[in-house]
Amino acid sequence: MPTTGPTPILPRILPSLALILSAACTDSGPAVAPATGVLVTDSADIELVEVGAEVLDTLPEWTFSPEPMLTIGRTTGEDPYLFASIQDAFRLGSGEFVVVEGFDFEFRIFGSDGLHRRSFGGRGEGPGEFGEIVGLRKRTQGGIAVADNRLRRVTVFDDQGAVSAIRPTVCPADGWYFNGISLCYFGGFTGDGAVFWYGSRRAEGSRPRIDEGAVQRTPGGTRFLALASGDSTLVVDSVSARGHVRIVQSLDGTPALWSVPEIFEPEGLWAFGPRSVALGESSGFEIRLRDSSGELRRVLRVDREPEFVTSAQIDAIRVLTGTPASISPRELALQYLDEVQPGGQIPFFSELRFDDAGRLWVADYVPPRVLLVPDTTWWTVFDEDALPLARVATGRSDNILELGENHILLRETDEMDVQRVAMYRIERE
């Protein structure tokens, strides 16, 4: 496997696994223009972009500067530079950096020189405080939006950290509830100010009775994405939710639940960019791109043959259980993997992200992190018009804090488990 990009100080796993799981790209015929491998058609203001699989094989590879351009965080020193748990980080248009300490929900602002400037936020229920941060977005018009599911509100700050607006959760009144509990949650922001919420629906009787020691499966259901508009919401799209597997075991006489998303099961994913929303079902390489008003503007399709699960792939994951590559108890992970059968289709992707320039990054499929923590993630990058640009290899995707137009911010951990933010330059051909 190519070893491009920054390498955070993290446990390494067998590099062959990503190659074992990677899907083969094959030419599937005349659906695309043979000269470029890309066909763009337009109908009723909806653009269809069809990309041949052979195009992805010839894309240039973007890399990263070998050393970080800047780091924020120290092993010892003053409190603003010490982080217990970095939840998020991003760079403002002013060049300043925002780093969110997840332990106490404190927002710390650093200059372009990496020096601390000011802090705001904290745990609580007052203005500018948080009960649970579930979403952050720097706004294209300036400022920061923060979503809080526990307090059911969105707080907007200016670049200095002063509260400029507080907006309550806006959920549909059409039954997004279960036993009196709201199933409406924050979905995401676009950079130009649109706020999206989502609700979940499951089939009646889909949650089985949990028996100790047995592998129990729960179907995933559907998630509906809604756009907040004034005091109401408009449902704009829906995607499937992946099912979960649960095993209850007894620890010193106390029942403990182990849960993991079904491996190799496709699901619906979404991501929010500066001006658009991407939604896709990983059972096929098709992604819908909507604008901030919820209107469908573009559909991206990659004409790629599916790959199917083999016994060798399952065995490769089984070997890694009980090592730093897996955060699951070995005996429970093996019990579940013993029930996974070969032959099913491997999903086409496992994550969607936008960068600051509005480019869409689509990650090759990797197993759920509970079962496996891969040290390398491969991405295909598409521009704002959904045309393919490049392939990129990064470290663990959960350590990517921000994809900038020309930089990437990573959460890195040293040998003493001290965290820092590191900025690397994206080097494009």
From first to last of its 429 residues, what are the pLDDT tens digits of the chain? 233 334 333 233 333 344 334 433 333 333 344 447 899 999 888 999 999 999 999 999 999 999 999 999 988 888 999 999 999 999 998 999 999 999 999 999 999 999 999 999 999 999 999 999 999 999 988 899 999 988 888 999 998 999 999 988 776 555 455 444 456 788 999 999 899 988 887 765 555 566 777 888 888 888 889 898 777 778 899 999 999 999 988 777 777 888 999 999 999 999 999 999 999 999 999 999 999 999 999 999 999 999 999 999 999 999 999 898 898 999 999 999 999 999 999 999 999 999 999 999 999 999 998 898 888 999 999 999 999 999 999 999 999 999 999 999 999 998 888 899 999 999 997
* 64 sits in which H/E element: strand 61-64
Architecture of domain 67-168+400-429: 6 Propeller (2.120)
297 within 8 A of 358, measured Cβ to Cβ? no
Helices (H), 45-145: 53-57
Q: How far apart are CA 111 and CA 30, in angstroms?
A: 53
Alpha-carbon 328 to chain mean position:
20
Residues 6+ apart with CB under 8 A from 402: 89, 90, 91, 356, 408, 409
212 within 8 A of 249, measured Cβ to Cβ? yes
51 within 8 A of 388, measured Cβ to Cβ? yes
Residues 6+ apart with CB under 8 A from 94: 159
- What are the sequence ranges of the domains in the chain? 67-168+400-429
For residues 359-370, one letter each, b for 16 or more C-beta atoms within 10 angstroms of the residue's C-beta and e for the rest, the string is bbbbbbbbbbbb
178 beta partners:
181
Alpha-carbon distance values, 40 to 30, 36, 43, 60, 352 (Å): 14, 11, 10, 21, 22
Residues 6+ apart with CB under 8 A from 129: 105, 121, 122, 123
